[in-house]
Every structure is written in structure tokens, then in C-alpha cells.
């Protein structure tokens, strides 16, 4: 599989401090035949200088003149890529040396030719604590096609692994569409769901990726993030509606988050949807009362 060119895309914004670690973990992969595309989303720190100091002909550097968001950054990297396979790495994350090699082997051994995305297990570091990301058996997984197996991976349809854990054939992107640039948050969940609707997903239960949660992480609760989640809901409501547990979990979280942001009207809207799924839960009625 050394003949397979893999395009690794690192979107980054003001991460000059962690970017060298991410780049080094790519260049140290046991699969050497790769290109690394760093997409700088108009950083105002030392990002450009950090990249220029690394002498490796496999690196390409794209710099935006204005901030466009991570979805646009990943899309730009895909369009610039020359590989048959795409892998993403956030600029504050890290890979272990066999991440690409073992991911490629899954596609090589795929007799059905219907695997659209491979993701690995890994470690998550947050507040000084290290923990495994997925507590799952070692198995091949058609994520949303077999409930008995799928429940070991995801509790609902609206949970996905981080892009740093993925690899996919480039032609899958052209079949399901690029990242939605209207979404500054949840763009990765939206993309993952579109792949899962059309292809099998394969889980490698090996610890090959490391996720670091930073203070500047994009996962903060904001009105903009909530609008992106609503956009996700509108795009996938028909698909979600056949899974009561997913609807319950999603609407419950939306209601709690809107309430935390002080928007009682929208919180009440989602709590009513939650109540339809679980009409016997007194806790939901308590939340609705708080929005009155």
C-alpha cells in the first residue's frame, strides 16, 4: 500500500504552538507516500513561520486572506489534494506512527468495496486526564446498518468521531458532497452522517489518534454553534425521525443548551419535542415549566 498516495489535510487557525506536534506526527508515519496540506485560516500568530521552518517537500501551505471557518479550510485542502485517500488532522491533535498504514489496510482488504470511511480508536486528553475515546469491541462496523453492533459504538445517530480519527477515499467526498461551509460548528457531524447514509463505516479498535481539548476549542456553547445544530436538524430530520432515542437525545440537549443561553422560547420548543418521545418523564415537564 506504499503506492497509495494519501493526502493529509490540517486546517489551522492561530495554533502555532501545537501545529509542529501535529505536523511531526504526520511526517513520522510509517506510510511514507503522503502529501501534507496545511490550510491556514488567516491566522495572526506565527503559523506561517512555523510551517516555513519545516523542510519537507511533502508539505503544501495554503493561506486564506480572511477567516472562512474549518469547513472551508478542509474543502480547500480536498480540492488541492492529489491523493486517492483523504485524512484530516486538527492542528492541536496528533497521530501515532501506524495511523495511515492500518487505515489503508482496511480499504485494501475490503471485498465489498463499500467502505466509505475508516476511523480509529484513540486517546483524549482533557484537564490533565487521559482516557480512551471509544470503549468498543474490535469489530468491523456498518455503523447505522446493524443495531446490535452499532450500539457498541454510538448511543445515537448524531454522535460521530472527530475528523482527526478518520480516513476516506477521495471519491466519497464527491459522492456525498463537501463540508457544509454554512456550518462553523457540527460540520464534521453533518459530513459523517452523509457518509454513513451511503456507505459502510469501519472501526479500527487500535489507539492510533490523540485528541487534545484546548481552551480555544471550537466546542464552546454559543448562539452560532446552536444555529449550526439547528441547521443539522433541518437537513437530517427525516433520517433522524426513525430513531426515537436519537430524537430524544438531540432535542433534550438542544433544549438544555438554549435554556443555558437564556433563550426560553427556543428551549421550550425543543423540550416539547423531547416530551413527545418520552411523555412519561417528569424531568422534561420540569424543564418546560422553567421556560414559562
> Is residue 235 included in any domain, yes or no?
yes
Q: What is the CATH number of the domain that holds 250?
A: 1.25.40
Please say which residue of 151, 179, 212 terminates a domain.
212
Q: What dihedral do alpha carbons 10, 13, 14, 17 form, nearest 10°?
A: -20
- Asked whether residue 60 falls in the same domain as residue 134, the answer is yes
Amino acid 144: pLDDT: 46
- Asked whether residue 155 falls in the same domain as residue 228, the answer is no
**CA-to-CA dists, residue 114 to 22, 28, 92, 252, angstroms:** 30, 29, 31, 34
- Asked whether residue 90 falls in the same domain as residue 195, the answer is yes
pLDDT band at 103 (very low <50, low <70, confident <90, very high): very high
Amino acid 187: pLDDT: 94
pLDDT band at 130 (very low <50, low <70, confident <90, very high): confident
Amino acid 52: pLDDT: 96
> Is residue 218 included in any domain, yes or no?
no
Please say which residue of 212, 236, 252 terminates a domain.
212
- Asked whether residue 151 falls in the same domain as residue 280, the answer is no
> Is residue 137 included in any domain, yes or no?
yes
- Asked whether residue 44 falls in the same domain as residue 155, the answer is yes
- Asked whether residue 80 falls in the same domain as residue 40, the answer is yes
- Asked whether residue 43 falls in the same domain as residue 135, the answer is yes
pLDDT band at 2 (very low <50, low <70, confident <90, very high): low
> Is residue 240 included in any domain, yes or no?
yes
The dihedrals phi and psi of 74, each to the nearest 5 degrees, come to: -65, -40
Report the predicted TM-score, pTM, of the whole model to 2 decimal places. Answer: 0.88
- Asked whether residue 64 falls in the same domain as residue 118, the answer is yes
Looking at residues 109-131, what average pLDDT do you find?
85
> Is residue 151 included in any domain, yes or no?
yes
Q: What is the CATH number of the domain that holds 193?
A: 3.90.550.10
Boundaries of domain holding 135:
6-212
> Is residue 119 included in any domain, yes or no?
yes
What are all long-range contacts of 246-251, with beta carbons under 8 Å and residues at least 24 apart? 246/156, 246/157, 246/158, 247/273, 247/277, 248/274, 248/277, 248/278, 249/155, 249/156, 249/158, 250/156, 250/158, 251/277
- Asked whether residue 57 falls in the same domain as residue 169, the answer is yes
SS (H, E, C) the chain: CCCCCEEEEEEECCCCCCHHHHHHHHHCCCCCCEEEEEEECCCCCCHHHHHHCCCCCCEEEEECCCCCCHHHHHHHHHHHCCCCEEEECCCCCEECCCHHHHHHHHHHCCCCCCEEEEEEEEEEEECCEEEECCCCCCCCCCCCCCHHHHCCCCCCCCCCCCHHHEEEEHHHHHHHCCCCCCCCCCHHHHHHHHHHHHCEEEEEEEEEEEEECCCCCCCCCCHHHHHHHHHHHHHHHHHHCCCHHHHHHHHHHHHHHHHHCCCHHHHHHHHHHHHHHCCCCHHHHHHHHHCC
- Asked whether residue 177 falls in the same domain as residue 76, the answer is yes
Q: How many Cα atoms are found within 13 Å in the side-chain-facing hemisphere of 128?
A: 0
Read off the C-alpha cell for 28.
Answer: 513520522
Looking at residues 21-42, what average pLDDT do you find?
98
- Asked whether residue 183 falls in the same domain as residue 56, the answer is yes
Q: Could you give the angle at the alpha carbon of 89 between the alpha carbons of 229 and 13, nearest 5°?
A: 70
Q: How far apart are CA 165 and CA 157, in angstroms?
A: 18
pLDDT tens digit string along 191-208? 998 998 888 888 888 899
Given a cut of 70, whether residue 211 has pLDDT beyond it is yes
pLDDT band at 219 (very low <50, low <70, confident <90, very high): low
| Structural domain count of the chain | 2
Looking at residues 30-53, what average pLDDT do you find?
97
> Is residue 1 included in any domain, yes or no?
no
> Is residue 217 included in any domain, yes or no?
no
pLDDT tens digit string along 272-292? 999 999 988 889 999 999 999
The neighbour count for residue 255, using CB atoms within 10 Å, is 25
- Asked whether residue 167 falls in the same domain as residue 108, the answer is yes
Amino acid at each position: 500500500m506504499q503506492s497509495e498516495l494519501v493526502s493529509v489535510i490540517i486546517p489551522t487557525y492561530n495554533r502555532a504552538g501545537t501545529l509542529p506536534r501535529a505536523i511531526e506526527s504526520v511526517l513520522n508515519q510509517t506510510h511514507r507516500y503522503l502529501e501534507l496540506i496545511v490550510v491556514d485560516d488567516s491566522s495572526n500568530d506565527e503559523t506561517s513561520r512555523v510551517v516555513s521552518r519545516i523542510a519537507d517537500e511533502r508539505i503544501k501551505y495554503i493561506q486564506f486572506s480572511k477567516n472562512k471557518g474549518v469547513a472551508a479550510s478542509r474543502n480547500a485542502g480536498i480540492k488541492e489534494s492529489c491523493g486517492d485517500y483523504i485524512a484530516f488532522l486538527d492542528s492541536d491533535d496528533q497521530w501515532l506512527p501506524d495511523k495511515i498504514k492500518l487505515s489503508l489496510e482496511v480499504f485494501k482488504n475490503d471485498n465489498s468495496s463499500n467502505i466509505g470511511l475508516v476511523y480509529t480508536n484513540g486517546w483524549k486528553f482533557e484537564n490533565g486526564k487521559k482516557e480512551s475515546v471509544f470503549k468498543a469491541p474490535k469489530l468491523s462496523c456498518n455503523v447505522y446498518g446493524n443495531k446490535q453492533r452499532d450500539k457498541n459504538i454510538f448511543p445515537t445517530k448524531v454522535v460521530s468521531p472527530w475528523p482527526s480519527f478518520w480516513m476516506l477515499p477521495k471519491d466519497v467526498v464527491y459522492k456525498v458532497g463537501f463540508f457544509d461551509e454554512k456550518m462553523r460548528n457540527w460540520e464534521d457531524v453533518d459530513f459523517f452522517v452523509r457518509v454513513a447514509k451511503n456507505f459502510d463505516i469501519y472501526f479500527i479498535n487500535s489507539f492510533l489518534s490523540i485528541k487534545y481539548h484546548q481552551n480555544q476549542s471550537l466546542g464552546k456553547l454559543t448562539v452560532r454553534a446552536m444555529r449550526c445544530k439547528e441547521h443539522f436538524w433541518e437537513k437530517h430530520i427525516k433520517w433522524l425521525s426513525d430513531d426515537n432515542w436519537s430524537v430524544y437525545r438531540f432535542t433534550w440537549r438542544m433544549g438544555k443548551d438554549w435554556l443555558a443561553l437564556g433563550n426560553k422560547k427556543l428551549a421550550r420548543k425543543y423540550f416539547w419535542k423531547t416530551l413527545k418521545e418520552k411523555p412519561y418523564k417528569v424531568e422534561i415537564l420540569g424543564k418546560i415549566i422553567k421556560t414559562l
